[in-house]
Chain A
Amino acid sequence: MTGRPVMSALGAAAPAGSGGAVVSLHRAAVAVGGRRVWSEVSLRFSAGEFVAVLGPNGVGKSTLLKAVLGLLPIVEGGVEVLGARPGERNSAVGYLPQRRAFDPGVRVRGTDIVRLGWDGHRWGVPLPWPTARSRAARERVREVIALVGAERYADRPIGQCSGGEQQRLLIAQALVRRPELLLLDEPLDSLDVTSQASISALIQSVCRSEGVAVLMVAHDVNPILSYLDQVVYLAHGGAVMGTPEQVITAETLTMLYGTPIDVLTDRAGRLVVVGQHDVPPDHRRASV
């Protein structure tokens, strides 16, 4: 990231390893198949913060989540997750990977999907008779389904739930083990506008009420902008982090995407990001 001083100047480049941070990266770099996806990325955030990772396609937003999970090697710099190395405390991390919806033919109930998040990693099967442990599991599954407001369709086959319903159940699955960190990869993708808004509000309320730190990859900043505490913009191999007001300015975004972008303020004082429509067809799509 040499030659782009403006990025590190804007970034909240606090040193890694200091107390209080749920996730901290210090000048980290990650490689996939020998190719360096990004480097010199510094960011940190704490419990109860809602952070979005934004940026054009292919800059390594999902890669950032995988690096935090310890699924990809850190080739440079320092990364600390919940006070340990990435991957060491994954039992305290809830993860919702980027995906399409469940196929309509999947005939497993939403409740079962949530329950797998609780004890799906344990070998064997539960004892066939009720025990204190199985009662606790059932109670927790019911509780978390109520938390995301999915009681009405939790007993339906998940393949028959709508996209928004499936996403709520999957968020419940990610939350069921009371994680301290929630990693969400494009949870709003392919949802209609109403669902996008209500899922965003749900994530923020979970973030506040459960004190969970949320790191969410998003394609489109507008539905979540008003809920965010911090944003991370990944572009051109590096990153910028700050509050939405700091980062979401026409100058920063235009520089990051390499294409003219406007930031408007609506009557309620909300920011709206608008890309220009004279982008040449061969330009990598920057859907902001």
Chain B
Amino acid sequence: MGADGGLSWNLVDDVRILLSYHFMLNAVRAGTIVAVVAGAIGYLMVLRRQSFAGHTLAVIGFPGAAGATWLGLSSGFGYFGFCVAGALVIAAIPGAGRAGNGLGGYGEESAGIGVVQAFALACGFLFVGLYRGFLSGLNNLLFGTITGITDDQILVLLVAGAGCLVALVALGRPLLFASVDPDVARASGVPVRAVGVAFLVLLGLTTAGTSQITGSLLVFALLVAPAAAAARLTARPVAGLALSVGLAVLVTWLGEAVAFFSPFPIGFWVTTFGFGAFLLATAYRAAADRVSRRPGVLAVAGGSV
């Protein structure tokens, strides 16, 4: 990143310098929108054990973006179009729309999803080849960039993100119910299948938005790492969701700031901070579980009934 001011020890000045560039301001705006949505949807994705479907949707966005670039369109259209279409394709694979909780939940389906994923990646490679663009275009599509986010793009991200969050709140309890306990949810009148399809479409929109910041391959930095860290820190769904959003925003801001002052790309930094948060949360969980299992602290763990 070309940082004229350079990094000083005065953090306020650093932030001021950073935000004085319009492209950085846009990067922070876009990053914040994307992080809030990815943190929230990602929490439910982790709860539903649909990380593999989420990853596939991200990979499906790659040929979309590459194809759109080849045709001279904005890559954003390609991301959104392909990710939502991909969500509907995955939903059409029998059994894939339901949460993967439970025995044998994801055997056949994951194979089907994997085949779709490989084909999508190959198509993306083809489109990049047809475009004959310079190589950094491919890098940006796969690993993300913070330069060149336009005001129009931010508006699209904002509308898509707000739509996702409204839909998530509307689905609310039935989505949680169908995720942790599909059989009982169905018996209680929750349309489990429809809720699963709706969630996949939300996941498609989220990965499309996130891909535009992190690139197709590093979507998980925002979609999984904060959510998985939050789930290790708390077992309360609402607190976990809020924590996941908070971590995603923090990781994005840190990643963007450090990328601005360093020669290394944003995708690396966001992913590294997400990974760090996940490691810390895992270490905390292991330590907390060890304390609670110590004899005398909690009366006979595992003692039946």
Instruction: Give me the interface of A with B, judged by CB distance under 8 Å.
Output: 69, 71, 90-91, 93, 95-97, 99-100, 102-103, 106-109, 112-113, 116-117, 119-126, 149, 152, 156-157, 162-165, 168, 173-174, 191-192, 194-195, 198-199
Contact = CB atoms under 8 A, between A and B. Distances in A.
Interface in B278-305: 299, 302-305
A156 B180 CA distance: 15
Contacts of B174: 120-123
B304 A120 contact: no
The 3 closest A-B CB pairs, nearest first, are A120-B177, A125-B172, A164-B305
B242 to A, nearest CB: 11
A93 B187 CA distance: 9
Interface string B146-176: 0000000000000000000000011111101
Interface residues of B, number: 34
Contacts of A168: 305
Contact of A162 (B177, B240, B302): B302
B173 A112 contact: no
A95 B236 contact: no
A106 B101 contact: yes
B94 interface: no
A173 B183 CA distance: 13
Interface of B: 47, 101-103, 169-174, 176-177, 180-181, 183-190, 231-232, 234-237, 240, 299, 302-305
Contact of A113 (B181, B183, B232, B299): B181
B304 A90 contact: no
Contacts of B188: 90, 95, 117, 120-121
B102 A198 contact: no
B184 A124 contact: no
Given A123-B170, A124-B170, A106 B304 contact: no
Contacts of A195: 304-305
Given A69-B187, A108-B235, A124 B173 contact: yes
Nearest to B169: A125
A174 B169 CA distance: 25
A96 B180 contact: no
Interface centre among A109, A121, A168 (most CB of B within 10 A): A121
Contacts, number: 105
Given A123-B173, A162-B304, A109 B187 contact: no
A117 B231 CA distance: 22
A125 B173 contact: yes
A192 B176 CA distance: 30
B284 to A, nearest CB: 13
Contacts of A157: 235
A104 B190 CA distance: 25
Given A95-B184, A107-B231, A165-B304, 13 more contacts: A90-B189, A97-B187, A100-B102, A106-B180, A107-B234, A108-B235, A113-B180, A113-B181, A120-B181, A123-B172, A125-B172, A126-B173, A173-B181
B176 A156 contact: no
A108 B47 contact: yes
Contacts of A165: 304-305
Contacts of A100: 102-103
B172 A124 contact: yes
A199 B235 contact: no
A95 B135 CA distance: 58
B192 to A, nearest CB: 11
Contacts of B237: 108, 112
A120 B185 contact: yes
B75 to A, nearest CB: 34
B236 A112 contact: yes
Contacts of A125: 169, 172-173
26 contacts: A93-B187, A95-B184, A97-B187, A99-B183, A100-B102, A102-B101, A106-B180, A108-B235, A108-B237, A113-B181, A116-B173, A116-B177, A120-B176, A120-B181, A121-B185, A121-B188, A122-B174, A123-B171, A123-B173, A123-B174, A124-B169, A124-B173, A156-B235, A173-B184, A191-B304, A195-B305
B44 to A, nearest CB: 11
Contacts of A91: 189
